[in-house]
């Protein structure tokens, strides 16, 4: 591998799959579909990695089957004494190597809840944060039937619930940017990506140390993600404004969303009918949401550290 890993960050339904597909068409960079396994492997192997034990866990990851990646290809890249980030990087490097590429990246929206873990596990990683108006993202998310996207501890069912998720995760990513600095964090607006894709991709490539290639825009119908029912836009040309909260959200839902996240919308340059701080009641609901998320992470951590994890995850690769 010839450069640092590249993580595409973004709240669900913010266009991250579109950006992933574009980046994956670069001849240097391989960005597979969602991985999901990074927190699990970090929790199970928090210090120096034993290759035998690590590979035994890798063989239990259904993601490898989805990626058509053999565990033997990962084994060739493991060595004693690796850090968790280096060992996990070997999984991605194996995927990239089979495709003749020298760099790897990841796009998993769930990791918006694990940003400190990514930061310490991959100290040289670069982060591209794709930001979309949370109201448009809410319209898109809430239109997807339940059961299709179930990652995370909960599935918001209304505008206010999605606003809490959006505000929490966007704020966390921007905080990450302040910690790591402009050399490792780039913020890209979704409207710029779909409105001026060449310019936006040139920015991302320059930031990432990649050569911009025009083939990155030739993605229509060329990705496995386009087969998913909630990713059918990948079979169409770029179209700005495919979601418009002004016409697709009820006034009550707009008010509910802005009561939670109107201040952050305004900071990001979006119009908002309410740009002040949330009410006391809403601050309590935000705190409850964050407490529930932390509790879900705690349960997941305990399970992943437990011998029960292997029982629940039989070998698949």
Tens digits of per-residue pLDDT, 169-220?
999 999 999 999 999 999 999 999 999 999 999 999 999 999 999 999 988 7
| Cβ atoms 66, 60 nearer than 8 A | no
Tell me the CATH number for domain 6-220+244-312: 3.40.50.300
**16 or 233, greater pLDDT:** 16
Domain positions in the chain are: 6-220+244-312
**Mean predicted confidence (pLDDT) in 128-152:** 82
The DSSP output letter for 99 is T
Q: Is the pLDDT of residue 38 over 60?
A: yes
Tell me: the pLDDT tens digits for 82-97?
Answer: 999 999 999 999 999 9
Q: Is the pLDDT of residue 297 over 60?
A: yes
Angle at 29 between CA 28 and CA 34, to 5 degrees: 165
Question: pLDDT category, 234, cuts 50, 70, 90?
Answer: low
- Distance set, CA 141 to CA 36, 66, 137 (Å): 19, 24, 6
Give me the pLDDT at residue 226, please. 47
Give me the pLDDT at residue 154, please. 62
Least confident window among 5-19, 124-138, 188-202, 230-244: 230-244
| Cβ atoms 61, 53 nearer than 8 A | no
3-state helix, strand, coil in the chain (%, to 5): 55, 10, 35
Mean pLDDT across the chain? 92
């Amino acid at each position: 591998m010839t450069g640092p890993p590249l993580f595409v960050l973004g709240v669900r339904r913010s266009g991250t799959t579109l950006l992933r597909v574009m980046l994956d068409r670069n001849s240097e960079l391989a960005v597979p579909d969602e991985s999901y396994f990074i927190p699990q492997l970090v929790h199970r192997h928090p210090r120096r990695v034993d290759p035998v034990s690590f590979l035994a866990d890798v063989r239990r990851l259904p993601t490898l089957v989805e990626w058509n990646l053999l565990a033997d290809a990962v084994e060739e890249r493991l060595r004693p004494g690796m850090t968790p980030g280096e060992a996990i990087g070997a999984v991605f490097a194996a995927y990239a190597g089979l495709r003749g590429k020298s760099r790897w990246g990841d796009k998993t929206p769930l990791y918006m809840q694990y940003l400190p873990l990514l930061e310490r596990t991959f100290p040289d990683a670069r982060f591209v944060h794709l930001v979309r108006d949370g109201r448009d993202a809410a319209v898109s998310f809430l239109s997807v039937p339940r059961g299709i996207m179930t990652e995370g501890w909960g599935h918001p069912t209304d505008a206010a619930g999605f606003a809490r998720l959006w505000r929490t995760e966007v704020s966390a990513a921007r905080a990450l940017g302040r910690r790591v600095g402009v050399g490792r964090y780039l913020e890209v607006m979704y409207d710029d990506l779909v409105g001026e894709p060449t310019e936006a991709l040139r920015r991302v490539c320059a930031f990432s140390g990649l050569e911009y290639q025009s083939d990155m825009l030739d993605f229509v119908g060329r990705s496995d993600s386009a087969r998913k029912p909630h990713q059918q836009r990948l079979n169409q040309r770029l179209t700005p404004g495919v979601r418009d909260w002004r016409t697709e959200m009820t006034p009550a839902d707009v008010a509910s969303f802005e009561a939670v996240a109107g201040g952050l919308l305004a900071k990001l340059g979006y119009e908002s009918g309410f740009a002040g701080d949330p009410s006391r009641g809403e601050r309590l609901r935000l705190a409850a949401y964050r407490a529930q998320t932390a509790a879900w992470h705690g349960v997941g951590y305990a399970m992943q550290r437990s011998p029960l994890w292997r029982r629940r995850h039989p070998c698949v690769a």
